[in-house]
């Protein structure tokens, strides 16, 4: 206890000595004592020392300069703190700037992603278009190749057709020369007939003395090709025999047309109505000479249908005669009078010039059904007007398929007079007719067996109002008669 009190007194004395050494007075001490509370309020600290109970062996020292040192450090700390705050504000500003930049970067990244997707879409579309155009180019090349092949084939067919036309022209010239030769043989045979007429009492006389006065040798030479075709086979046989007169005499004992009755009188008549009025009521082949001309011709007279008196100008029944002929052949006539034939445009012109005639067209299909179409007037213009058709009013049960051709010129493969500007209807229809653009009837077309046929063009023997244009009729005949 005593030791403790001693230590406290020593400390108090030391403090007092320190104050006195600093030069202070009691007044000053009082002032200092009165100012301590102020200093304490100003932030100064008071210290309490706890001295362990031990025996002091020396003097105790107290350093009073620590307060000034603490002030400088505080000032330095405040300066550092201000600097740190400035840096912090600077960093905050940078952070805000970097945040806005980050937002912009994110927006740019998002926009870039959308742009990449759009670019990918556009690339896919472009690739699709390129592939599509490539396919179109391939298809175009394929079509061009097909067109080139078709053009080549068309050129080849055209060249073949021209070759066939040349061959047909050669055959036509050969046939013309043969017909001329046959005509000469016929003339020689008829000369022989006049000298041998007394040997054949059962036949009509053939000499010039018993024939109509206008039946001259000039008229005989003008006989149409129909007569020549029928006598071709017998004439060729006569050519191979050494004695023409003897052969002619022997052939007169047989009927001139097998399976058809011969005429009872030599004629010639103006037409088949004239034959009927003369008392000849049997259907067969008769010699005709229209009024106003010395032109002689043979024709089939139909006396058993529709009161008779019909001059048959065209007949189709078995396809034995080719009707795809030239203008000259259609003008003079061709075929066989006991089968298929065409009487001739020039003969038709002279016959219909005598009076007013009517036309009757008889049609039969492959089922045996027969129909007819009749026109109350029928005539042709001369060759200078291309045998233009003049037709009257229609009646009948076949339907009217010829009035569409009224007032039209006749057209053949070598005379294009139709109204079709893109080509020749005769080439498409394979015949000769009064074509328009092109036909509602084509009775001189190709004879197809069986009715319905397949062809690139409608080239059969058809009557449009009776089974249509794709049906080829079995039998057809055209007949005229004065009204």
Residue 69 covered by a domain? no
142 phi and psi angles, rounded to 5 deg: -65, -45
Confidence class for position 168, pLDDT limits 50, 70, 90: confident
306 and 172 in one domain? no
pLDDT tens profile 90-143? 998 888 888 888 888 888 988 888 898 889 999 999 998 999 998 898 888 888
Residue 128 covered by a domain? yes
pLDDT tens profile 325-358? 999 999 999 999 989 999 999 999 999 999 999 9
Question: Which CATH number characterizes residue 400's domain?
Answer: 3.90.215.10
Domain boundary among 132, 153, 177: 177
437 and 291 in one domain? yes
Residue 40 covered by a domain? no
Q: Write down the pLDDT at residue 397.
A: 95
Confidence class for position 165, pLDDT limits 50, 70, 90: confident
401 and 289 in one domain? yes
Asked which of 30-44, 120-134, 145-159, 178-192 is least confident by mean pLDDT, the reply is 30-44
* Cβ contact 238:247 at 8 Å: yes
Residue 384 covered by a domain? yes
* Cβ contact 332:344 at 8 Å: yes
Domain boundary among 150, 177, 204: 177
Domain with 128, as residue range(s), is 80-177
The neighbour count for residue 333, using CB atoms within 10 Å, is 28
Residue 245 covered by a domain? no
455 and 311 in one domain? yes
Looking at per-residue confidence, does 172 or 374 come out higher? 374
Residue 249 covered by a domain? no
Confidence class for position 244, pLDDT limits 50, 70, 90: very low
283 and 171 in one domain? no
425 and 315 in one domain? yes
Kindly state the helix (H) or strand (E) to which residue 284 belongs, with its residue range.
Answer: strand 284-288
For residue 358, list its beta bridge partners. 481
pLDDT tens profile 296-325? 999 999 999 889 999 999 999 999 999 999
413 and 302 in one domain? yes
Question: Rounded distance, CA 272 to CA 482, Å?
Answer: 9
> What percent of the chain clears pLDDT 90, i.e. is strictly above it?
42
Domain boundary among 177, 200, 229: 177
Question: Rounded distance, CA 408 to CA 438, Å?
Answer: 11
DSSP of 48-117: -----S----S------THHHHHHHHHHHHHHHHHHHHHHHHHHHHHHHHHHHHHHHHHHHHHHHHHHHH
* pLDDT of 453 over the 90 cut: yes
* Cβ contact 380:345 at 8 Å: yes
Residue 286 covered by a domain? yes
168 and 302 in one domain? no
454 and 327 in one domain? yes
Residue 13 covered by a domain? no
Structurally, how many domains does the chain consist of? 2
As a whole number of Å, the end-to-end CA separation of the chain is 185
Q: What mean pLDDT value characterizes the chain?
A: 78
């Amino acid at each position: 206890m005593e030791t403790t009190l001693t230590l406290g007194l020593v400390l108090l004395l030391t403090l007092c000595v320190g104050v006195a050494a600093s030069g202070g007075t009691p007044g000053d001490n009082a002032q200092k004592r009165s100012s301590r509370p102020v200093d304490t309020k100003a932030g100064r600290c008071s210290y309490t020392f706890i001295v362990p109970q031990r025996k002091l062996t020396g003097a105790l020292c107290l350093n009073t300069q620590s307060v000034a040192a603490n002030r400088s450090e505080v000032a330095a700390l405040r300066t550092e703190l201000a600097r740190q705050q400035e840096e912090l504000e600077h960093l905050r500003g940078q952070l805000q700037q970097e945040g806005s930049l980050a937002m912009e970067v994110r927006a740019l990244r998002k926009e870039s992603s959308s742009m990449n997707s759009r670019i990918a879409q556009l690339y896919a579309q472009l690739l699709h278009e390129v592939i599509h155009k490539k396919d179109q180019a391939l298809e175009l090349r394929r079509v061009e190749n097909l067109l080139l092949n078709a053009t080549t084939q068309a050129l080849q067919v055209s060249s073949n057709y021209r070759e066939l036309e040349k061959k047909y022209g050669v055959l036509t010239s050969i046939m013309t020369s043969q017909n001329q030769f046959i005509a000469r043989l016929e003339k020689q045979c008829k000369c022989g007939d006049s000298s041998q007429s007394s040997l054949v009492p059962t036949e009509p006389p053939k000499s010039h003395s018993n024939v109509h006065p206008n039946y001259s040798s000039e008229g005989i030479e003008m006989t149409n090709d129909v007569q020549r075709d029928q006598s071709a086979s017998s004439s060729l046989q006569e050519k191979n025999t050494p004695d023409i007169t003897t052969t002619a005499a022997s052939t007169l004992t047989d009927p001139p047309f097998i399976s058809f009755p011969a005429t009872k009188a030599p004629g010639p008549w103006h037409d088949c109505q004239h034959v009927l009025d003369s008392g000849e009521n049997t259907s067969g082949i008769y010699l005709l000479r229209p009024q106003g001309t010395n032109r002689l011709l043979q024709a089939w007279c139909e006396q058993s249908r529709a009161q008779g008196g019909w001059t048959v100008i065209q007949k189709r029944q078995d396809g034995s005669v080719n009707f795809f002929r030239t203008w000259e052949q259609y003008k003079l006539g061709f075929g066989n009078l006991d089968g298929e034939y065409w009487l001739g445009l020039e003969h038709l012109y002279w016959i219909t010039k005598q009076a007013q005639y009517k036309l009757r067209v008889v049609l039969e299909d492959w089922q045996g059904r027969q129909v007819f179409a009749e026109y109350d007037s029928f005539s042709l213009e001369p060759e200078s007007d291309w045998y233009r058709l003049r037709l009257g009013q229609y009646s009948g049960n076949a339907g009217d398929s010829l009035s569409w051709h009224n007032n039209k010129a006749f057209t053949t493969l070598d005379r294009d007079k139709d109204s079709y500007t893109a080509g020749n209807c005769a080439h498409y229809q394979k015949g000769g007719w009064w074509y328009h653009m092109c036909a509602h009837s084509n009775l001189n077309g190709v004879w197809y067996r069986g009715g319905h046929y397949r062809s690139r063009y409608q080239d059969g023997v058809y009557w449009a109002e009776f089974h249509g244009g794709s049906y080829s009729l079995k039998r057809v005949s055209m007949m005229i008669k004065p009204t």
